Structure 1
Amino acid sequence: MSSFTQALARGLNIRHIRFMALGSAIGTGLFYGSASAIQSAGPSVLLAYMIGGAAVFLVMRALGEMAVRHPVSGSFGQYASRYLGPFAGFITGWTFAFEMAIVAIADVTALGIYMGFWFPEVPRWTWILAAVALICALNLMRVKVFGETEFWLSILKVTAIIAMIVGGAAIVIFGFGLPDTANPGLDTMLGSGGFFANGFWGLLASFSIVMFAFGGIETVGITAGEADNPKKAIPAAVNTVPVRILLFYICTLSVLMMIFPWQDIDGATSPFVQIFDSLGIPAAAHILNAVVITAALSAINADIFGAGRMLYGLAQQGQAPASFAKVSRHGVPWMTVATMGGVLLAGVVLNALLPEDLFKIIASIATFATVWVWVMILLSHIAMKREIKRRGLPASEFGVPFWPMASYAALAFMVFIVVLLGVMPDTRVALVVGGIWIALLFVAYRLWVRGDGRLRAELDDETGVAWPGTGTEPAAAADSAQPSGNAAGRF
């Protein structure tokens, strides 16, 4: 055990947390994955983003309520342990780490594609290797350095999106850069088959990419353990970020499809770069390519942070190797960063072997992991609300609107997405890989966790009240238990 095993350092303020969620969820899914979603659904992809965004907002409100009530390291992994049982926490935490790893591989894959716009002869994996080294170095610095880096990277891409919306609107109104025969506006968007150009099934097929695009937004819950003032920072981030993301997606894609025929978006590079390159606007495509590269780096940065902090929380509960709880003198769980760096090196190999087909496969697998985590967040929240009512506890300071109907509707929608992954031939591999992953977790839990102890209560560092134990220990013992680095198993 390292001598540096103290708690994580607090250093993230409201603006860090708000833009961290933007960094994770406005990235590859919008700047590259939207091409696949548009190809599947046509203009009706806008409806898919509206529906998916509304469901994700309810997930975020559920997570926000729990994070304000229990601002702990590991976030929803510990909430699942607390309210659904140790195995639920184990499977949730590890699946989130798996999600972040898969999403990060998708992000570095997209980064390699973006670099190909400038350097088509250079192998993608060389750029990916350089990006992995840079991002891992950033994540090993003080958390405030990480937060500032993420803030400015996110500021850059959000500014670019706003400028693109304004510029695209000007093109629609005044026709700048368009040929004389062009007819920008709704005629261009709806001119190839109407709003439901590819039918209802096309709309359904787009959901795998649409939900992938929102994946990672739950990282905001992970920040509770390192936020200076969780009770203020978490609600501020939850209330503003999902709405902004939804507006950015809808407005941006609407403008793009109004100035460029959606059926001509080929996915060879970012649709944003392709469209502005085709318009012949000087330097616009190159500026946008620089922006989407920055966006990919920002997303990878947030992915590594989220996975690392979840593994740290799991290690504190004894549900991950104890080495993951080792903290550097800067208050950073360095072992988890190193592990994620190793996982991303697998992305380098995959991009060398499968440069053409990798993104969609990875995106569908990431969608399964993402939706699984969201389902567990919703189930944990429902169980928490029931316990609050049963025990007559004080109401939450930051509750979910339209409870309980909204939470159950969001849960039903997430189950529907999982079913869709199995129905659609192109995404069926996600269920196969997801099923194997869940089975491996079950075996790992039986071998290394469940058979060798109990989960100790996690002390709520904000209220000073210990949570009741979730194992077989008496409630009185649980109430006085302190977190143990390896209490729950032989890791």
Structure 2
Amino acid sequence: MSSFGQALARGLNVRHIRFMALGSAIGTGLFYGSAAAIQAAGPAVLLAYIIGGAAVFLVMRALGEMAVRHPVSGSFGHYASRYLGPFAGFITGWTFAFEMAIVAIADVTAFGIYMGFWFPEVPRWIWILAVIFLIAALNLMRVKVFGETEFWLSIIKVSAIIAMIAGGAAIIVFGFGLPDAANPGLDTLLGSGGFFANGIWGVLASFAVVMFAFGGIETIGITAGEAENPKKAIPAAINTVPVRILLFYVGALSVLMMIFPWEQIDGETSPFVQIFDALGIPAAAHILNAVVITAAISAINSDTFGAGRMMFALARQGQAPAGFARISRHGVPWMTVAVMAAVLLVGVVLNALLPESLFLLIASIATFATVWVWLMILLSHIAMKREIKRQRLPASEFGVPFWPVASYAALGFMVFIVALLGIMPDTRVALIVGVVWIGLLFVAYRLWVRGPGRERAVLADETGVYSENNDVAAKAPAPAG
């Protein structure tokens, strides 16, 4: 049975939330997409990950400050409505749902590629169809079951990355499995053109995939509505996850490029699998393939969760079909899970039609959506800080470091990434699709959401959800006028 108007069940603790964010952000972008980034930038891709990771950390701190102050379902969609207006909230919420849907299609695409390592004769779409049914089933269970599943899936891939870094370091030191002529270490890393092998332009070209790799980490904010103790869980997750992701990306890719010449990484399969397969280490490639398959399932799981919860929140605000707010007896918005499963079926069709060129196209479009959401998070945070100062409200418990310089620097960087998508020929289509998407949302808002007095009513309702003492049940007065 299902019903309208019920609250989501709270069942996520600190470790669930921490590993859910890892599940979304350490997945296809690292295990598969990193090949495209390496091809573009060479060893300097490490610098791109460091710069991108630093900017994303500032976005996460901005989101964390708002989530601790206002722990509600829908998170940054609510904050955009609260501080920038209902239309900004509408665009932010739907663009995040779009981002998660596109990223999930990229993830199921990668899943099909990974399965092809073992079963090259089986059409990719068959594996994708199977994983869609699995993910739908997991997302219809109680949120605590979902959290536990995501925790263990993430544990597997995080442990594998750590083991791979340690094993790779041993190969570099002792030369296990390498030919006699090999010279692992900095000589291999820098031996094909130096650190900036493809110049600064190559580094810039890699940013589309690099930023895609970090996409989904903002799911931490979505969990606020289902966290058992948001004021404890959100800061704990935010303070550790971005740093860990940065270390995993930079550490893992450094080791890989010290073992295997970067220009030979071809993107036919996961670079991790390719390298250990080429080294002839018994069963290592098969073990790693199992790990990247686990990582893909984990990422699809988190993507489906994030998109579903955002659509639920939009429905509660009157900005999505009312059916999206239906809650199952397990406290889960089942209708949004069904919608995401249907969207993922599009991935089956696309993989049947465009098996070779699909990943980079999807990654570029997802990068636009991801960066747009991050832009709105930063703008909402800046507006919140101005309101706090203007109304002399109590300071935040979990503030952004180096405010305001850091926040404006992150904002400028995100604008730069959007412009970069349009400059680079391979990613220009992403900017075109993004602009069309925003235009469609504008038309949809004018036709179906905004009506006489409706926009003000939505904003008043949004404002009523918040209070400055973190008691989300308290009703603040609606704005005058």
Residue 474 (1) aligns with residue 474 (2): no
Residue 133 (1) aligns with residue 137 (2): no
Partner of 1:395, secondary structure, is coil
Match of 1:101 in 2: 101
Residue 230 (1) aligns with residue 230 (2): yes
**Is contact 1:457–1:468 with CA below 8 Å preserved after alignment?**
no
Q: Which amino acid aligns with 2:75?
A: S
Q: Distance in 2 between matches of 1:437 and 1:280?
A: 46
Displacement of 1:230:
0.1
Match of 1:22 in 2: 22
**Is contact 1:4–1:329 with CA below 8 Å preserved after alignment?**
no
Displacement of 1:451:
1.7
Residue 457 (1) aligns with residue 461 (2): yes
Residue correspondence of structure 1 range 314-463 to structure 2 within 5 A = 314-452=314-452, 453=454, 454-455=457-458, 456-458=460-462, 459-460=465-466, 462-463=470-471
**Is contact 2:2–2:329 with CA below 8 Å preserved after alignment?**
no
Displacement of 1:136:
0.6
**Is contact 2:4–2:325 with CA below 8 Å preserved after alignment?**
no
Partner of 2:170, secondary structure, is helix
Residue 6 (1) aligns with residue 12 (2): no
Displacement of 1:5:
3.6
Partner of 2:313, secondary structure, is helix
Q: Distance in 1 between matches of 2:246 and 2:35?
A: 17
Q: Which amino acid aligns with 1:30?
A: L
How many residue pairs align between the two structures?
Answer: 472
After superposition, what is the alpha-carbon deviation per residue over 1:192-236, rounded to whole angstroms, capped at 9, x for unaligned? 000000011000000000000000000000000000000000000
Q: Distance in 1 between matches of 2:477 and 2:259?
A: 58
Q: Distance in 1 between matches of 2:195 and 2:59?
A: 28
Partner of 1:426, secondary structure, is coil
Q: Which amino acid aligns with 1:82?
A: R
Normalised to the residue count of structure 1, the TM-score between the two structures is: 0.95
After superposition, what is the alpha-carbon deviation per residue over 1:127-178, rounded to whole angstroms, capped at 9, x for unaligned? 0000000001000000000000000000000000000000000000000000
* 1:468–1:403 CA distance, 2 compared to 1 (3 A): farther
Displacement of 1:468:
5.3
Residue correspondence of structure 1 range 52-131 to structure 2 within 5 A = 52-131=52-131
Q: Distance in 2 between matches of 1:474 and 1:331?
A: 35
**Is contact 1:41–1:205 with CA below 8 Å preserved after alignment?**
yes
**Is contact 1:365–1:431 with CA below 8 Å preserved after alignment?**
yes
**Is contact 2:221–2:234 with CA below 8 Å preserved after alignment?**
yes
Q: Distance in 2 between matches of 1:198 and 1:3?
A: 56
Q: Distance in 1 between matches of 2:409 and 2:277?
A: 42
Partner of 1:457, secondary structure, is helix
Q: Distance in 1 between matches of 2:407 and 2:297?
A: 33
Partner of 2:153, secondary structure, is helix
Residue 203 (1) aligns with residue 203 (2): yes
**Is contact 1:66–1:79 with CA below 8 Å preserved after alignment?**
yes
Match of 1:266 in 2: 266
Partner of 2:451, secondary structure, is helix
**Is contact 1:5–1:328 with CA below 8 Å preserved after alignment?**
no
Q: Distance in 2 between matches of 1:424 and 1:27?
A: 25
Q: Distance in 1 between matches of 2:35 and 2:443?
A: 38
After superposition, what is the alpha-carbon deviation per residue over 1:394-450, rounded to whole angstroms, capped at 9, x for unaligned? 000000000000000000000000000000000000011001100000000000111
* 1:2–1:283 CA distance, 2 compared to 1 (3 A): closer
Q: Distance in 1 between matches of 2:295 and 2:477?
A: 42
Displacement of 1:300:
0.2
Q: Which amino acid aligns with 1:315?
A: A
Q: Which amino acid aligns with 2:450?
A: R
**Is contact 1:4–1:328 with CA below 8 Å preserved after alignment?**
no
Match of 1:155 in 2: 155
Q: Distance in 1 between matches of 2:480 and 2:218?
A: 33
Displacement of 1:2:
5.0
Match of 1:248 in 2: 248
Query: For structure 1, which segment, 307-316 or 446-455, has the greater mean C-alpha deviation from structure 2 after superposition?
Result: 446-455
* 1:467–1:94 CA distance, 2 compared to 1 (3 A): farther
Q: Which amino acid aligns with 2:378?
A: L
Q: Distance in 2 between matches of 1:10 and 1:29?
A: 30
**Long gaps (5+) in structure 1:** 476-491
Q: Which amino acid aligns with 1:293?
A: I
Displacement of 1:61:
0.1
* 1:287–1:379 CA distance, 2 compared to 1 (3 A): same
* 1:321–1:256 CA distance, 2 compared to 1 (3 A): same
Match of 1:279 in 2: 279
Q: Distance in 1 between matches of 2:206 and 2:6?
A: 45
Q: Which amino acid aligns with 2:406?
A: A
Q: Distance in 1 between matches of 2:16 and 2:62?
A: 21
Q: Which amino acid aligns with 1:219?
A: T
Normalised to the residue count of structure 2, the TM-score between the two structures is: 0.97
**Long gaps (5+) in structure 2:** none
Q: Percent identity?
A: 83
Q: Distance in 1 between matches of 2:295 and 2:142?
A: 21
Displacement of 1:64:
0.2
Displacement of 1:4:
5.0
After superposition, what is the alpha-carbon deviation per residue over 1:58-90, rounded to whole angstroms, capped at 9, x for unaligned? 000000000000000100000000000000000
Q: Which amino acid aligns with 1:474?
A: A
Q: Distance in 2 between matches of 1:222 and 1:356?
A: 33
Match of 1:484 in 2: none
Q: Which amino acid aligns with 1:417?
A: I
